[in-house]
Amino acid sequence: MAMYAYKDAARTVKILARDAQKQDKSNRYYCPNHKCDAHMFIRNIEGVSASYFGAIHSHGHINNCPHGASNRFNPNDYDEDTFEFDNALLALTMPGMSQTKKELPGEHGSGNAKASPPRTIRQIYSMCKAHDCSDTYNGVKIGKMLLDNRSVYMYPKGVFGWRIIEAKCKRPHFYNSIKKEISLIASTAGEEYTFILKFESEKLFKEIKNVIFLNRECFTVVAGQWSSSGTFNVFCTTFLSKKQLAIIN
């Protein structure tokens, strides 16, 4: 699902789902992913105000398109008004009982009447990817929650405070066993940032290192409170819980 799409194949005219009118239901829109030729249409659920763009089965999304089936965010399954980004990320850093799907209504688009805000890193990440980076969710700009290849231009002076970052392993070596550190890198044309995960627990360090190594060709998504490392364009956070990490194929 996507909360925005384009009116033209060149992707020059953007339209947000909330701005699409009922008369637009028969209009075909274009996936934000330039490599994907999915035929997207505005969707509404009867009795629910939130709308979104979805593709038809005969002209669906390409594999692993971030706006396709792999993104399970449905705005009608979550309570936007109670979402507080900083508090949500703070909760992810707190070790404790892992959150299960039973404890997280809306994970599979069940339309739960008692909707809660996005809580897990995957839910928050999917919400951010579904929206345009210049759009907002409960008053907070998407690009100020998630740093990815769309929003990196919003960080000309660096990455500070609570953020989710989408990155990949730094090559050729992404970890330092002596310092218990893992290095990730996010880059786009003309800009490159390094993110260092600092661990207090050797057991957690080894576990996360192995997870990232086995998925080193995938995106690593990390939630944290970032600060300067003292080196230009290098930022660090303390990694305290597995809930801070998601691997995106």
| Mean pLDDT of all residues belonging to the chain | 88
pLDDT in tens, 27-47: 899 999 999 999 999 887 554
Using the predicted structure, report yes or no on whether residue 10 has a pLDDT greater than 90.
Answer: yes
Q: Higher confidence at residue 73 or residue 199?
A: 199
The Cβ of residue 132 has, within 10 Å, a number of other Cβ atoms equal to 21
- Residue ranges, comma separated, of all CATH 2.40.50.110 domains in the chain are 122-248
Q: Residue by residue, what is the 3-state secondary structure of the chain? A: CECEEECCCCCCCEEEHHHCCHHHCCCCEECCCCCCCCEEEEEECCCCCCEEEEECHHHCCCCCCCCCCCCCCCHHHECHHHCCHHHHHHHHCCCCCCCCHHHCCCCCCCCCCCCECCCCHHHHHHHHHHCCCCCEECCEEHHHCEECCCCHHHCCCCCCEEEEEEEEECCCCCEECCCCEEEEEEEECCEEEEEEEEECCHHHHHHHHHHHHHCCCCEEEEEEEEEECCCCCEEEEEECCHHHEEEEC
pLDDT in tens, 50-76: 788 989 888 889 888 888 867 778 888
Alpha carbon distance 224, 201 (integer Å): 16
Q: What pTM did the predictor assign?
A: 0.87
CATH 3.30.1370.10 fits 122-248, yes or no: no
Using the predicted structure, report yes or no on whether residue 157 has a pLDDT greater than 60.
Answer: yes
Using the predicted structure, report yes or no on whether residue 49 has a pLDDT greater than 90.
Answer: no
Residues 6+ apart with CB under 8 A from 154: 133, 141, 143, 144, 147
pLDDT for res 127: 96
